[in-house]
A and B are shown apart, each in its own frame.
Chain A
Amino acid sequence: DTEVTQTPKHLVMGMTNKKSLKCEQHMGHRAMYWYKQKAKKPPELMFVYSYEKLSINESVPSRFSPECPNSSLLNLHLHALQPEDSALYLCASSQEWSNQETQYFGPGTRLLVL
C-alpha cells in the first residue's frame, strides 16, 4: 500500500480565516513533506519533517504553520492567507529523508483564498 491521504479535497477561505490541511500515511514512513503547486508548474517544496521533527523550512511565510503530531500525521495550519496563496497543496512521504528515497504523493488539497 503506497497511499497518502489528504483532507479536505477542496477549500475556500477568506483572508481572515484560520483553517488546517491534514495528511495521513500508514506506510511507516518517517519523512513527510508539504509542497505547493501552481497550475502547470512543478511542485515546490515548503517543509520537510523527518522523525516528526521539522528538518527543512524553505523560507515559507509564517502564515503557513506545519505540525507533525505523530509519525503518521502531518498538518498545515493556515492563517491570514493572501489570494496568491491559492494553489494545490500536496503532501508526500518517503521511508526516510535521503537522496535515495522515493516520495509518494497524496491527491492534494485545492485551496482558493478570496
Chain B
Amino acid sequence: GQQLNQSPQSMFIQEGEDVSMNCTSSSIFNTWLWYKQDPGEGPVLLIALYKAGELTSNGRLTAQFGITRKDSFLNISASIPSDVGIYFCAGPYPTGKLIFGQGTTLQVKP
C-alpha cells in the first residue's frame, strides 16, 4: 500500500541524548502529523504541521514541515525513559486517507 519513507527504523540511545527522525514522500502533503504509540495503546498526536516551512515545538519535541511539502522531521531533545515507544509520521492524501510511515522504534537506556 501507500507509505511514507520514515527513518531510521529503530534507535537505541542513552538517556539525555537528542533524537532526530524524518519522513519523506514522493507526493506533496498539505498536513504532516507526528504520533507516538505506546505498546497496546492508540497513537497519540504529538505535533501537527499545516504550512510549508512551519517549525513547531511541543515541550522537548520540535517538528518541521519541509519547504517542498514532501518531507518532515521530528527532533526530541534530552531524551528520557518515558520517550520509549514507536513514532509515526502521517499525512492525509487528497482523498482524506491518512498515510503512515513505517514507524521509528525508540529505546532509551537510563
Binding site for B on A (CB under 8 A): 2, 4, 6, 31, 33, 40-45, 48, 56, 88, 90, 92, 97-108, 110
Residues of A within 8 A of B86 (CB): 40
Determine the residue in chain A with the shortest Cβ distance to B48: A102
Known: A42-B103, A88-B40, A99-B31. A104 touches B45 (CB 8 A): yes
Residues of A within 8 A of B101 (CB): 42
Q: Quick check: is B26 within 8 A (CB to CB) of the other chain? A: no
Tell me if B96 and A43 are in contact (CB < 8 A). Answer: no
Tell me if B41 and A107 are in contact (CB < 8 A). Answer: yes
Q: Quick check: is B100 within 8 A (CB to CB) of the other chain? A: yes
Residues of B within 8 A of A88 (CB): 40, 42
Residue interface mask B25-40, A partner, CB < 8 A = 1? 0000111010100001
Query: A2-B45, A40-B103 provided; 17 other pairs, C-beta below 8 A?
Result: A31-B96, A42-B100, A42-B102, A43-B43, A45-B98, A56-B97, A90-B42, A97-B96, A99-B30, A99-B94, A100-B30, A101-B96, A105-B35, A105-B42, A105-B45, A107-B41, A110-B40
- A16 CB to closest chain B CB (Å) equals 26
- B85 CB to closest chain A CB (Å) equals 12
Q: Can you show 24 pairs from A to B with CB atoms below 8 A apart?
A: A4-B42, A40-B103, A40-B105, A42-B3, A42-B102, A43-B43, A45-B97, A45-B98, A88-B42, A90-B42, A90-B43, A97-B96, A98-B92, A99-B92, A99-B93, A100-B31, A100-B50, A100-B92, A102-B31, A103-B90, A103-B98, A105-B45, A107-B42, A108-B40
Residues of B within 8 A of A44 (CB): 1
Determine the residue in chain B with the shortest Cβ distance to A90: B42
Determine the residue in chain A with the shortest Cβ distance to B1: A44
Q: How far is the CA of A88 from the CA of B42 in the complex (A)?
A: 9
Residues of A within 8 A of B98 (CB): 33, 43, 45, 92, 103
